[in-house]
Amino acid sequence: MPRSIQSTQPPLKFITQRFNPLVLQIVRWLLPIALRFRTRPWLTAGIVGIEAKNVEVLAELYQQFQAGKIRFLLAFRHPEVEDPLCMLYLLSRIVPRVARQEGISLQSLVHSYFLYDRGMTVWAGNWLGWLFSRVGGVPVHRGRRLDRQAIQTARELFTNGELPIAVAPEGGTNGHSGIVSPLEPGVAQMGFWCVEDLQKANRTETVIIVPIAIQYRYVEPPWSKLDWLLSKLEADSGLAVKEIDRGTQEEIYYQRLCRLAEYLITEMEEFYRRFYHQDIPKTSSTDESASPNQVLIARLHRLLDKALQVTEQYFGVQAQGNFIDRCRRLEEAGWNYIYRKDLPDINALPPFKRGLADWIAEEADLRMRHMRIVESFVAVTATYIQEKPTAERFAETALLVFDMLSRIQDTTLPGRPRLGLRQAHITVGEPISVTERFRNSQGDRYAARQGVSDLTKDLQIALEKMIS
């Protein structure tokens, strides 16, 4: 996350895709180091192993792609920021190895183009845009109703590119290996467009979408590190230390996490009630059948709604859709205030107008922080930990709280503490034929829209089954 924005910025330009095999090869050489340490080598090591299932399915698809028989899109789960690195490892190391073992002949490079959020270069720096463009990346401006240049580029690559294309249909990370966020319809729509473009060109390739699930597990349950993290969160939040010694280890950690969550929600409710004049009742739910967990989650969702309302009221944006939809629209609204397309040359502005523009940019950045906090909790549920009280689920939830406190305490978001060594588990799902579905959805616009909707639902179900 960048430091606080205090001045207006020129508009974000589209970063043209300039695939360079040499740059990709260098990235592949450095990949094991990046997986283990990412960008902060002084933190506890990260991913030390990647396992994959049903990889022969992907190897065969690459063989058919290289033979000109199919076009395909990799629709991968996106729970963590490490997912793209794991996907690169899958394609560069595991697929070629499995292909050799299965006697599947691959004639050329096993890689893919991919879509990435244009905002990543805002917080990471311009170097990331340069790198992504050289390894096949296409930037997408999230929140924009129609990013024409990105859509046209991705559509062209899907239909005519030398490689398949990879897209995260969730649109962003949710921090949960065990929960799939609602999918955006873009992946299904791209599949239908590809079939349409191939038919117009009198080409016979079959269009396929391949669901891919990614999950993470610790090599050893990091209970001691989790205890340290919870103690830090309790201290940073100002929550008085309280010894909890009844119950199993999992029960004690769960009580501590719930106690911390209730304290933070209560503090944030008062924050929005007092300083943003939000109507938030001080009493809990009157539903006697609701469990304490359900009451807590209901309060959290009400708080997230109020936080978004504060930002929506400022930007004049209507509240429509789920939390993710609302966050996307607010991100676009904020960027329009900061990255000013209506100012051809901000350096040529007179001091008075430049001061007003800087004022607006700084305030927009502050308002967007409410939305950033909401983004961290869009997938939190009342039963996620109770269903499977594993170290992974405790850690995921505690790290989301860490993100929230970090955003509030500082203008920069520090790297998450590494709680232990992790392994990534990748599952390649059964290919979904878009061509067949396209034939069944011919007729009118309603049938086409329904076809996209049905494909999106089926892709969601496939990903959910793969991580259950």
* Structure confidence at residue 40 (pLDDT): 44
Q: What is the dihedral of CA 287, 290, 292, 295, to 10 degrees?
A: -60
d(CA 67, CA 212): 23
Residue 33 confidence (pLDDT): 86
**Residue 45, pLDDT score:** 40
**pLDDT for the residue 44:** 39
- CA dist., res. 149 & res. 138, Å (int): 10
The whole-angstrom separation of Cα 351 and Cα 234 is: 46
Q: What is the mean pLDDT of each run of 10 residues along the chain (468 residues)?
A: 74 93 95 72 63 97 97 96 94 96 92 93 87 96 77 96 96 91 94 96 97 96 94 92 78 92 95 95 71 89 96 95 92 93 90 95 94 90 89 94 88 72 96 92 78 95 94
- Tokens 């203008």 sit on residue: 411
pLDDT value, residue 12:
87
Contact indicator for 262, 296 with CB cutoff of 8 Å: yes
What domains can be seen in the chain, in order of their start residue?
21-220+422-467 (3.40.1130.10), 223-409 (no CATH)
pTM, full prediction: 0.92
